[in-house]
């Protein structure tokens, strides 16, 4: 058993990281700390996952989210998709393995991958709406969010969700408030079978190798670690039985990289070109902010901020 994180205390203690540890900040220049914090990572071992949704409930409970009660649409996914409240979701795929003739129920916990090279942050025009700490956590700051939805388009994993209520975008924080006091994310703590474990990225990478060896011994020759280089690696990684076919796992991106659109913005293309491409949903958000002057940010400021994306990491 991978040693679990000790129980939390109730006495206030210092946070182990904060503003001084920002490595990136959307639409802003930051000077990263001289010394980077140890990178953290969550490892999701799909082969140990029983699809119980404890992670979903623990996430809702810890983050005090009130999700809608939906319907059954003939699938196990509930809610049917990620939402502004449900920052993680179990996705279920029934796969008939042509090599063995056996049915495999591939159950993957979906949610933010906390990319080393975060497309959401790079796409974000609102200063400080998305931040990245030097330990690898990518966090959304709703107070700075302008609801434009660019991050949604910028994300190669289709993770952030815009709230219809407050026009802000939400996603997994990797329980930044827990990690800051030495705890692991709520989902990892709850996970009954340790399909989710949390530690330093180095530990998780090493631990994954033992899991891969176990899977190899059970006939999964192509088992491997999903830590895609196209986004600089991730701070949420998967152990997959079929690492050569990530798409089997409810469409997990094979070789994800940051959308070309983000690159377009970076190169300073006219904003309306970009706007047309991001689609109606994001455009609605963008118009909303133009009309209502969200957060007192002018279009000019936004354009400036967008230019900053290019040089956000010194």
Partner 1 sequence: MTNNWTDIQNADIVLVMGGNAAEAHPCGFKWVTEAKSERGAKLMVVDPRFTRTAAVSDHYAPIRSGSDIAFLSGVINYLLSNDAIHTEYVRNYTNAAYIVGEGYGFSEGLFTGYEEDRRAYDRSSWEYEIGEDGFAKRDMTLQHPRCVYQLMKAHFAAYTPEMVQRISGTPEDKFLKVAEWVASTANGERSMTIMYALGWTQHSHGAQNIRSAAMIQLLCGNIGVPGGGINALRGHSNVQGITDIGTLTASLPGYLAMPTDAEPTLDSHLAKRAFTPLQENQVSYWQNYNKFYVSFLKGMYGRNATADNQFGYDWLPKLDTTYDALKMFDVMHKGQTTGLLCQGFNPLMSIAYSGKSVAALAKLKFLVSMDPIETDTAYFWQNHGEFNDVDTASIQTEVFMLPVTSFVEEEGSLTNSSRNIQWKWRAADPYFESRRDTDILADLFLRLRKLYDDEGGTAPGPIQAIDWSYADPMAPAAEEILRELNGRALTDLRDAEGKVVRRAGEQLAGFGEMRADGSTDGVQWIYTGVYSPEGNLSQRRDNSDPSGKNVYGSWGFCWPANRRILYNRASADPDGKPWSEEKAYVFWDGQRWGGADVPDFPPTSNPSLRTGPFIMTPEGTSRLFARGFMAEGPFPVHYEPFEAPVLNPMFPAIRGNPAARVFDNDMEIFGDAEEFPIVATTYRLTEHFHYWTKSVRYNAVVQPEFFVEMSHALAEERGISPGQMVSVRSHRGEVKGRAMITKRLQPLQVDGRTLHYVGLPLHFGFVGQARKASPVNSLTPPVGDANAQTPEFKAFLVDVTPLADPVA
Partner 2 sequence: MNMDISRRRFLQGAGAGVAGTALGAFGFGGVEAAYAATVKEFRLFRTTEARSTCPYCAVACGMMVFSAPSAETGRMEVVHIEGDVDNPVNRGTLCPKGAGALDYIRSPQRVKVPMYRKAGADAFEEVSWDFAMERIAQLMKEDRDANFIETNADGVTVNRWPTMGFLSGSSCTNETGWITWKVARGLGMLQIENQARI
- Token pair for 255: 């070789």
- Token pair for 72: 């059954």
User: Can residue 148 be called a binding residue for partner 2 (CB under 8 A)?
Assistant: no
User: Could you give the C-alpha distances from 221 to 210, 213, 241, 251, in angstroms and in order?
Assistant: 14, 9, 8, 21
Partner residues linked to 42 by β-bridges = 198, 236
Taking the complex as a whole, how short is the minimal distance between the CB of residue 33 and partner 2, in angstroms?
9
Note whether 196 and 172 are within 8 A (CB): no
- Piece of the chain touching partner 2 by CB under 8 A; list 16-24, 40-48, 221-229, 241-249: 16-24
Taking the complex as a whole, how short is the minimal distance between the CB of residue 14 and partner 2, in angstroms?
7
229 binds, among partner 2, partner 1, none (CB under 5 to 8 A by kind): none
User: Can residue 192 be called a binding residue for partner 1 (CB under 8 A)?
Assistant: yes
Burial letters for 98-123: b for 16+ Cβ neighbours within 10 Å, e otherwise?
eeeeeebebbbbbbbbbbbbbbbbbb
Hey, is 291 helix, strand or coil? helix
Contact string (CB under 8 A) for partner 1, positions 1-20, x = contact? x-------------------
Taking the complex as a whole, how short is the minimal distance between the CB of residue 92 and partner 1, in angstroms?
9
Radius of gyration of the CA atoms of the chain, in A: 20
User: Can residue 44 be called a binding residue for partner 1 (CB under 8 A)?
Assistant: no
The whole-angstrom separation of Cα 164 and Cα 149 is 12
Per CB under 8 A, the list member of 53, 201, 235, 306 interacting with partner 1 is 53
Toward partner 2, which CB reaches closer, 53 or 211?
A: 53
Per CB under 8 A, the list member of 22, 27, 43, 49 interacting with partner 1 is 49
């Amino acid at each position: 058993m991978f040693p679990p994180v000790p129980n939390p205390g109730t006495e206030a203690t210092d946070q182990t990281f904060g503003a001084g540890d920002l490595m990136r900040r959307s639409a802003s220049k930051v000077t990263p700390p001289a010394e980077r914090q140890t990178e953290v990572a969550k490892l999701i071992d799909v082969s140990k996952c029983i699809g119980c949704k404890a992670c979903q409930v623990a996430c809702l409970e810890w983050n005090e989210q009130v999700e809608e009660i939906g319907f059954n649409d003939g699938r196990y996914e509930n809610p049917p998709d990620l939402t502004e409240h449900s920052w993680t979701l179990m996705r279920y795929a029934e796969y008939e393995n042509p090599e063995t003739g056996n049915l495999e129920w591939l159950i993957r916990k979906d949610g933010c991958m906390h990319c080393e090279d975060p497309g959401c942050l790079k796409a974000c025009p609102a200063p400080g709406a998305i931040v990245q700490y030097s330990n690898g956590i990518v966090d959304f700051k709703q107070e700075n969010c302008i609801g434009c939805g660019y991050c949604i388009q910028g994300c190669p994993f289709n993770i952030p969700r815009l709230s219809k209520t407050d026009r802000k975008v939400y996603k997994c924080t990797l329980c930044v408030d827990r990690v800051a006091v030495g705890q692991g994310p709520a989902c990892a703590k709850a996970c009954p079978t340790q399909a989710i474990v949390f530690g330093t990225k180095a530990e998780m990478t090493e631990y994954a190798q033992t899991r891969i060896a176990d899977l190899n011994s059970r006939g999964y020759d192509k088992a491997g670690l999903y830590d895609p280089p196209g986004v600089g690696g991730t701070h949420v990684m998967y152990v997959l039985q079929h690492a050569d076919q990530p798409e089997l796992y409810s469409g997990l991106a094979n070789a994800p990289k940051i959308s070309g659109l983000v690159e377009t913005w970076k190169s300073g293309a006219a904003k309306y070109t970009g706007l047309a491409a991001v689609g109606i949903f994001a455009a609605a958000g963008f118009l909303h902010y133009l009309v209502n002057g969200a957060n007192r940010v002018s279009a000019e400021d936004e354009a400036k901020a967008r230019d900053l994306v290019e040089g956000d990491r010194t």
